[in-house]
A and B are shown apart, each in its own frame.
Chain A
Amino acid sequence: MNQRTMKTLRAAAFAAAATLVSFGASAQNIKIAYIDPLSGGAATIGEHGLKHLQFLVDGINAKGGVIGGQKLEAVAYDNKGSPQESLVQVQKAIDAGVRFITQGNGSGAAIAISEFVAKYNERNPGKEILYFNYAAVDPALTNEKCSYWHFRWDANSDIKMAALTNFMKDRKEIKKVYIIGQDYSFGHAVRGAAVAMLKQKRPDVQIVGDELHPLLKITDFTPYITKIKASGADSVITGNWGNDMSLLLKAAADAGLQLNWYTYYAGGAGGPTAIKQTGLDHRVFQISEWHTNVPSPEMEAFADSFLKKYGGASGQGWWYLRLKNQMDMFAQALNQAKSADPLRVAAALRDMKYKNSLGAETFMRPTDHSLFQDMYISSFGSGGKYDEEKTGWGWKTIGVIKSQDTVIPTSCKMKTPA
């Protein structure tokens, strides 16, 4: 073998090694795709959630990453709030090498994604992907539509309604209730559960209105407020989120409507500002897994650092403890499985017990892949250590339901892979 051939061979070997190393280097990052609305009526929520994910991923990477040094990478896809567009984006993510997807805004999109992931995994063994649901609370996702590949970190709407109605049971001032919601699977679930549970726990309460409006399309809720006024209700139950919640509250403020609001998402973007406008001090209630005034040094410091980095002019701070739970548990599962293979990660996640940043015990139920955690009922008003959106008002805990008391049965019969 002469000099020239040797040189060529060495160069080739070096090139091959460099390519292999670069391949390895790019394959080092474990990608997680964020598929949520980044335009349209829910864009503020989607964009803020993306900042949450980015902050969490940066935090995990700063602490040394996962599985001995591999870094996580968040990739964003805009599903425009549409179920069909979500599938297009999931396909794009898969084509880009992503194997973990997270989504939360809109149960319609969530159901579409969950069904697609199940079909894809069945048709492409060896290329499975996992779907982490951090906010879509339609009970169907962990009951009749459950799937081995779907994991949820937010208590489903039946659990939340059970907690809310337990709270409302003892409030004697509630006599006439008006239910208003968004016309899709989640809104239907809220309305159904509200009617059934109120009838069971407070049969004396009169339901004076039951309204469903188009999802994220209404810009002026004045006609609906007029109807609520006319019905003589003293309380409103609503699962509205996004623009639908903030605009509903804004219209109520404009009309000077004075009653109590029992909500799921009054704390979302624009909500606190609208509540302050109504002047309803501690008359708007919310059920959530956390709020900024829950005493916990670790979580308070965390929320504070997020607010400093991403708060901006609006002063929007940390919302999703559940997303933090999700990413922390994801990292723990990766480390436990010592691999980024979705099959092994799923096996590690499905029965994980985890102590969250509040120091409370949470657990994932393997039957339906739901996480159970403490739920807080809080009211929004004056006082409190931290305020929201620079209004000077903040959340105050009115009641806590421990995780084991939130457990309700499931009809899920998921097919576990071999």
Chain B
Amino acid sequence: MLELVIFSTLNGLLYGMLLFLLASGLTLIFSMMGVLNFAHASFYMLGAYFGFQISRYVGYWPGLVFAPLLVGGVGALVERFGLRAVHKHGHVAELLFTFGLAFIVEEVVQMVWGKIPVDYRIPDALNFSAFTLFETTFPAFRMFMLLMSVATFLGLLILLTRTRVGLIIQAALTHPNIVGTLGHDVPLVFMLVFGVGCGLAALAGVIAGPALVTQPAMAASLGPILFVVVVVGGLGSLSGAFVASLLIGLIQTFAVALNISLADVMAPLGVTLTRESFGGDLWMATVAQVAPIIPYLLLVLVLIFRPHGLMGNRDT
């Protein structure tokens, strides 16, 4: 039991930190430009594939550095030539543009790398087990993933709160026009933030690619959860995104471990529920089977009762 709890906590934290890497970029972009980047998970996928391609030629570690830079560059170009042209048509048009972009990226990835998963390998330097607890091993690569995510979070925090660029970004988050009148090149700041956001997503991709399967469907599988995290945490709040990512990561990982169903809970109370009773499927579903929908339930509940999100200060 303790083993289950410890490993589930570790895995949950890991998944949560990965979600945060993605959500932080998305939150920054939304806060600055008001556009919810539908293609954010696609940049995550691009990062994994670029990392894979680089690892084929020179190895995993150069990929860790160059893939985020490349994808960040692509993101900046997308902002400069694509998003800016659509900006005048309104928020809906921007959302649709990023939606179409996600579509295109998935098709191009399928065309270039194929529809089946690619063999993105864990680097040999990390291909061992970090520690063994109660006969279960925890791979070193997962430890690396966790550490990288924490390091990135700290780096982002320091960047935003302790550097000049960070202060300008924070200011432009809430008062872009004033910042413009102060003489800062706000469009350039936007482009940089978009690029950095996409770069963060790509970093998450390079880290997660070898552990999770690198395949064209990886964007579509992570995309909706990402939106849940960002909205639940509060649009515009980085700390909210942090809390929400960890919350959802832990909930999903722990939920899979639990085999209790409503029927099991009601049984000690003397109420017998089987598949044949009215609404049978609902009582027999175990928490593990329900795990995939918990984030969406949370999203809908938060949007009804607390539309600002857990820690947000902006109404969407």
Contacts and interface: CB of A to CB of B under 8 A. Distances in A.
In the complex, A touching B (Cβ < 8 A): yes
Interface of A: 38-41, 43-44, 47, 183, 211-212, 214, 217, 219-220, 222-224, 226-227, 229-230, 243, 247, 254-257
Interface in B72-125: 110, 115-117
B260 to A, nearest CB: 13
Interface residues of B, number: 29
Given A39-B115, A223-B256, A255-B136, 12 more contacts: A40-B115, A40-B217, A41-B217, A219-B213, A222-B7, A227-B4, A227-B257, A229-B135, A229-B136, A230-B4, A254-B137, A256-B129
Contact of B212 (A43, A44, A219, A254): A219
Interface in B230-265: 253, 256-257, 259
Q: Which 8 A-B pairs have the closest CB atoms?
A: A223-B256, A39-B115, A256-B137, A43-B116, A219-B213, A219-B212, A230-B4, A44-B116
Contacts of A38: 115
B38 to A, nearest CB: 21
7 contacts: A223-B253, A226-B4, A226-B11, A226-B257, A229-B135, A229-B136, A256-B136
Contacts of B136: 226, 229, 255-257
Contacts of B211: 220
Contacts of B135: 229, 256
Interface string B189-231: 0000000000000000000000111000110010000000000
A120 B171 CA distance: 66
A284 to B, nearest CB: 19
Chain B CB within 10 Å — which of A47, A223, A243 has the most? A223
A418 to B, nearest CB: 41
A211 B139 CA distance: 24
A332 B103 CA distance: 47
B304 interface: no
B213 A226 contact: no
Interface string B2-15: 01100110010000
A223 B137 contact: no
Contacts, number: 61
B116 A223 contact: no
B137 A47 contact: no
Interface string B36-53: 000000000000000000
B8 A223 contact: yes
Contacts of B4: 226-227, 230
B187 interface: no
Contacts of A217: 221
Contact of A43 (B8, B115, B218): B115
B117 A243 contact: yes
B132 interface: yes
B1 interface: yes
Contacts of A212: 289
Nearest to B292: A214
A220 B212 contact: yes
Given A220-B211, A223-B253, A243-B117, A256 B11 contact: no
Contacts of A247: 213
B41 to A, nearest CB: 14
Contacts of B256: 223-224, 227
B212 A230 contact: no
Interface string B122-145: 000000010010011101000000
B3 A219 contact: no
B11 A222 contact: yes
Nearest to B141: A254
B115 A229 contact: no
Contacts of A39: 110, 115
Interface in B285-302: 288-289, 292
A219 B211 CA distance: 9
Nearest to A255: B136
Nearest to A269: B116
B116 A229 contact: no
A40 B132 CA distance: 35
Contacts of B139: 254
Contact of B213 (A222, A243, A254, A255): A243
Contacts of A223: 8, 11, 253, 256-257
Chain A CB within 10 Å — which of B256, B257, B288 has the most? B256
B126 to A, nearest CB: 12
A229 B253 CA distance: 16
A44 B132 CA distance: 34
A220 B212 CA distance: 6
Nearest to A39: B115
Contacts of B132: 256
Contacts of A214: 292
Given A223-B11, A227-B257, A230-B1, A47 B116 contact: yes
A47 B117 CA distance: 13
Nearest to A37: B115
A219 B292 contact: no
B216 to A, nearest CB: 8
Contacts of A256: 129, 132, 135-137
A310 B292 CA distance: 39
A226 B1 CA distance: 10
Contacts of B117: 44, 243
A46 to B, nearest CB: 9
A350 to B, nearest CB: 37
Chain A CB within 10 Å — which of B11, B117, B221 has the most? B117
Contacts of B137: 254-256
B267 to A, nearest CB: 17
Chain A CB within 10 Å — which of B4, B8, B115, B288 has the most? B115
A211 B253 CA distance: 16
Contact of A229 (B3, B110, B213, B288): B3
Nearest to B213: A219
B4 to A, nearest CB: 5
Contacts of A224: 256
Nearest to B252: A223
A278 to B, nearest CB: 12
Contacts of B257: 223, 226-227
Contacts of B11: 222-223, 226
A183 B288 CA distance: 12
A293 to B, nearest CB: 26
